[in-house]
Amino acid sequence: MKRLQVFTLVFITLLMSCKTTMPIVGAYDAYPVYTGTDLGLTWSPGKSVFKLWSPPAEEARILFYADGQGGSPLKTLPLKKGKKGVWSATVKENIEGQFYAFQVKIKGQWLAEVPDPYAKAVGVNGKRGMVVDPAKTNPSGWDNDRRPVLKNYTDIVIYELHVRDLSSDDNSGIRNKGKFLGLTETGTRSKEGEATGIDHLVDLGVTHVHLLPSYDYLSIDESKPYDPKVYNWGYDPQNYNVPEGSYATNAENGAVRIREFKQMVKALHDKGIRVILDVVYNHTGVTEASNFNQLVPGYYYRQNEKGGFSDASACGNETASERAMMRKFIVESVKYWATEYHLDGFRFDLMGIHDMETMNEVSRELRKIDPSIFVYGEGWTAGASPLPDERKAIKKNTHLMENVAAFSDDMRDGIKGHVFHPEQKGFVSGLAGLEESVKFGVVASTQHPQVNYQKINYSQAPWAKEPHQTINYASCHDNHTLWDRLAISAPEASEANRIRMHKLAGAMVLTSQGVAFLHAGVELLRTKKGEENSYKSPDDINRLDWSRKAKHKDVYTYFKGLIALRKNHPALRMTSAEMIRKHLKFLELSESNLVAYTISGNANGDSWKEILVVFNGNPGDKKFEIPGGKWTVAVNGNQINEQGLDSIGNGSMSIPPYTAMVLYQQ
């Protein structure tokens, strides 16, 4: 997550005029806490009830409009102050289709009109709430939509995707380019005849699609027609409980984006794929002018020692999950997405900004809805935070949380080298000294007697209590694609060798314990043409270039084979750290850039009695001793065949450069 500092600063400058006086920090704790779950709009055909929490407000009102932007109010209604800082008003007529905004007066001054943070539908550009009949937002068959079966979190193979990237290429064969509906189209083909879009995801075999921010964010003007040059990742949240309008076929009518988001979820569910949303509760896209801040100035954010906004997100502000009403907002928001939109998981951006108690409550509440809903996040912050480390949901505290996972930067950078030093090589490209980091990834960051924790690149101790608390990956939307990174860090290597490194990286992620995570397009040697922080680069940088599927079919087939291998072999996705310690043993090897381990005893019910996995990141062949008996080769550097490509049986083996191999004994 890297993005919008400049953008945010511009907004702060623009909005100096609506700066509000914030009370001293301690005063926020004295604000009454409302525990009801009816904040925002509760609608029925004959009655709309509006509730707004704003303890410091002297007056509050709601303004009704005919449109999502512009025009004069149709009506202004004062809100009445009740208990616990809650203001309310009831309209006893059917106002479906109307738009509305809240406004509060503090210290004699009316602040800006904004939708309430709990708004579930908004007009164009999210400036006003919209009164929508929820029943009319359900696509046909929605009542029968079911989450695909998931037994264990370690069965998950995540595919991280931006809504636009799947379809925006001219060669996608998809009609609804850049839209939620682009993820509902089946039977789509590239001009080379390869399956694209949702069919591609099904064929590849991933279990979950993780969508980059798809709630309503600020940076795309939804009133303008689709422009391939105007693009954003979406890490600038505006309305948390509403889908992004630029991904809908109509951003004016607030019901359309809701319905089309649900159509997308249903289409993926129908194909057996679960859906995860990237959620960015750690900061808002604007600070002073945000919905939160115009209704309860300062409360939802942390303050620095000078009383201003602290900035652990490096985007101008950080939210204060430890404050009761912010925590409540986050918990209710994810519950809403899980129930109304049937979402199956949540990826928390800069999760380290949140406190652990909030993350535990998120996980606990979601598991009450369905125990298979998965929660994970970035276990770090982007800047200093006033929240003490012992309360933060940072990576090293993951073991203290329940059913919350974190990304393993240890494994990521062990595989390809330090993320902030693009020229640096990693294990797959021949840099020695990362063996323990790789082994740590193999055991999903858990405690294992054969890992030397003093030699790991970042962590000095196991941070996952159980394997499902680790997300193993080699690349994601941030930074270079894996393929570009290999070009930058190993320019001397032939393309054939870089393809070997790339496949080796894929094999390391997909054979390791824990939860596997793939950046969309890694299976096509995705390139962003060398760009790193492509958060606002045009479609032609960020799109999945579908011509690469036919061109690099061997890479695609290899990744597909690795996913199938992982699905077919429960030994590769053991469910407890204890099981891993019992069955997984590393071979003692003296060579650098060589890691090998066995998984014995039909682990986790596997059909294979013994499994031997070897990673060679060296530029040359490596020969070494292996346990005796005849081994069948299921995976080599070129291909995968679980029935057997070859066999080895003399107590030693040789592995080619930049290669992963998987062997087994029945």
Which residues are identified as catalytic? 349, 378
Nearest distance in Å: CB 126, Ca ion: 5
481-503 as b/e: b if 16+ CB within 10 A: bbbbbbbebbeebeeebbbbbbb
* Locus of tokens 């009102």: 61
Give the H or E element holding residue 159.
strand 157-161
> Which residue's CB atom is positioned nearest to Ca ion?
216
Give the H or E element holding residue 596.
strand 594-600
- Give the whole-angstrom CA distance, residue 374 versus residue 248: 26
Residues 6+ apart with CB under 8 A from 138: 259, 262
Binding mask 244-283 for Ca ion (x = CB under 5 A): -x--------------------------------------
Q: Are strands 129-130 and 208-211 parallel, antiparallel or unpaired?
A: unpaired
Nearest distance in Å: CB 212, Ca ion: 14
Structure tokens at 301: 């954010």
Q: How far is CA 351 from CA 312, 354, 376, in A?
A: 11, 5, 8
Asked if residue 635 lies in contact with residue 661, where contact means CB atoms within 8 angstroms, the answer is yes
Nearest distance in Å: CB 233, Ca ion: 13
Nearest distance in Å: CB 252, Ca ion: 12
* Locus of tokens 């694209």: 196
- Give the whole-angstrom CA distance, residue 559 versus residue 557: 6
Asked if residue 151 lies in contact with residue 374, where contact means CB atoms within 8 angstroms, the answer is no
Beta-bridge partners for 616: 594, 659
236 binds Ca ion (CB under 5 A): no
Binding mask 166-205 for Ca ion (x = CB under 5 A): ----------------------------------------
Stretch that binds Ca ion, among 141-149, 238-246, 270-278, 573-581 (CB under 5 A): 238-246
- CB nearer to Ca ion: give 129 or 245: 245
Stretch that binds Ca ion, among 214-222, 301-309, 423-431, 445-453 (CB under 5 A): 214-222
Nearest distance in Å: CB 124, Ca ion: 8
- CB nearer to Ca ion: give 239 or 385: 239
Asked if residue 57 lies in contact with residue 111, where contact means CB atoms within 8 angstroms, the answer is no
Nearest distance in Å: CB 14, Ca ion: 18
- CB nearer to Ca ion: give 216 or 410: 216
Stretch that binds Ca ion, among 2-10, 129-137, 215-223, 434-442 (CB under 5 A): 215-223
DSSP 312: T
Nearest distance in Å: CB 257, Ca ion: 9
- CB nearer to Ca ion: give 247 or 597: 247
Distance from CA of residue 406 to its chain's centroid?
11
Stretch that binds Ca ion, among 168-176, 185-193, 213-221, 261-269 (CB under 5 A): 213-221
Beta-bridge partners for 623: 654
- Give the whole-angstrom CA distance, residue 73 versus residue 50: 17
- CB nearer to Ca ion: give 70 or 108: 70
Structure tokens at 594: 């060589």
Nearest distance in Å: CB 68, Ca ion: 11
Structure tokens at 398: 């993951």
Stretch that binds Ca ion, among 18-26, 61-69, 131-139, 241-249 (CB under 5 A): 241-249
* Locus of tokens 């080298």: 417
- CB nearer to Ca ion: give 216 or 610: 216
Structure tokens at 74: 């149709």
- CB nearer to Ca ion: give 8 or 363: 8
Asked if residue 353 lies in contact with residue 387, where contact means CB atoms within 8 angstroms, the answer is yes
Asked if residue 398 lies in contact with residue 461, where contact means CB atoms within 8 angstroms, the answer is no
How many residues form the binding site for Ca ion (CB under 5 A)? 2
Q: How far is CA 455 from CA 422, 429, 581, 615, in A?
A: 22, 19, 19, 18
Nearest distance in Å: CB 232, Ca ion: 9
- CB nearer to Ca ion: give 245 or 377: 245
Among 194, 216, 278, 349, contact with Ca ion (rule: CB under 5 A): 216
Q: For 615, list phi and psi in degrees, rounded to 5.
A: -120, 125
Query: Which of 70, 77, 79, 73 lies closest to 123, judged by CA?
Result: 70
Stretch that binds Ca ion, among 37-45, 150-158, 237-245, 438-446 (CB under 5 A): 237-245
Q: Could you tell me if residue 15 is left (phi over 0), alpha (psi between -120 and 50 degrees) or otherwise beta? A: alpha
Nearest distance in Å: CB 97, Ca ion: 20
For 206-275, the three-class secondary structure string (H helix, E strand, C coil) is CCEEEECCCEEECCCCCCCCCCCCCCCCCCCEEEEEEECHHHCCCCCCHHHHHHHHHHHHHHHHHCCCEE
- CB nearer to Ca ion: give 28 or 217: 217
Nearest distance in Å: CB 4, Ca ion: 14
- CB nearer to Ca ion: give 216 or 539: 216
- CB nearer to Ca ion: give 244 or 409: 244
Q: Which residues bind Ca ion (CB under 5 A)?
A: 216, 245
